[in-house]
Copies of this chain bind each other. A is one copy, B any other.
Amino acid sequence: MVQHALDTKDKQARRDSILIAARGLFLGDSERLPSAAHIADAAGLSKGTLYLYFRTKEEIFMALLHEEWGGLLEQVHHAFRIDKRSTEHKIADFLKGYVEYVHTHPDLLRLDALGYSVLERNLGLDPLRTFKLEFAAALSRAGQAVEESLHLPEGQGVRLLMHTYALTRGLWQSLDYPETWREMMDDPALAPLRLSFRAELKDALAQYWRGIGHVV
């Protein structure tokens, strides 16, 4: 019998166990969101309990996405903290850390790709607003950090980050493909679609940010 989670700490732990189970299943098959029953099983809970901690299944994955975004914005803060390095160094450091982060957190882009069409649809305005507000705040803070670090006018930091992430997201969606397409994609005629996501991201971001460095 599962213990009742009576205090806040227990509740948080249980909530986390759901998130961990959900992430694990999603990483195993990113083509679709795992079913609620499957997540409950993996977390050792019943289906009903899931809904004591999250209002919808999508909310679970939004929470995951939220975590990942938080980590990514953390990178930004870290790279652009005010220190004595040159602008070029800061940007180079940022890009390196950013690409690395994206690579080591494969669920970020996968969730995002599903997100637009699936996640946000079944979410309800209320939890959606919560996520959006928190994200907007974190994004603003990170943007300000960039602005201060690079002496950019107000609002430019957010825009740079937005463009940077857009490029990332778009490239991933254009270049990533499921394992099951492997054979098809090996066709030489499809070479143009088989660019390396990591290499392209690095180059494209470098090119995009180069202008900034020069301007600054």
Contact = CB atoms under 8 A, between A and B. Distances in A.
Interface of A: 31-32, 112-114, 116-118, 121, 125, 128-129, 132-133, 135-137, 139-140, 143, 158-159, 162-163, 165-171, 173-175, 180-181, 184, 187, 189-193, 195, 200, 203-204, 207-208, 210-212
Q: Which are the 10 A-B pairs with shortest beta-carbon distances?
A: A166-B170, A170-B170, A169-B170, A166-B171, A163-B204, A158-B192, A113-B116, A116-B173, A207-B211, A167-B167
Q: How many chain copies?
A: 4
A168 to B, nearest CB: 7
9 contacts: A133-B187, A162-B171, A162-B200, A163-B171, A166-B171, A166-B174, A167-B170, A169-B170, A170-B173
A109 to B, nearest CB: 10
B31 A159 contact: no
Nearest to A134: B189
A92 to B, nearest CB: 16
Contact of A184 (B132, B140, B143): B132
Given A171-B166, A207-B211, A192 B143 contact: yes
A166 B193 CA distance: 12
A202 to B, nearest CB: 11
Contacts of A173: 112, 116, 166, 169-170
Interface centre among A112, A118, A190, A208 (most CB of B within 10 A): A208
A158 B190 CA distance: 12
Contacts of A121: 31-32
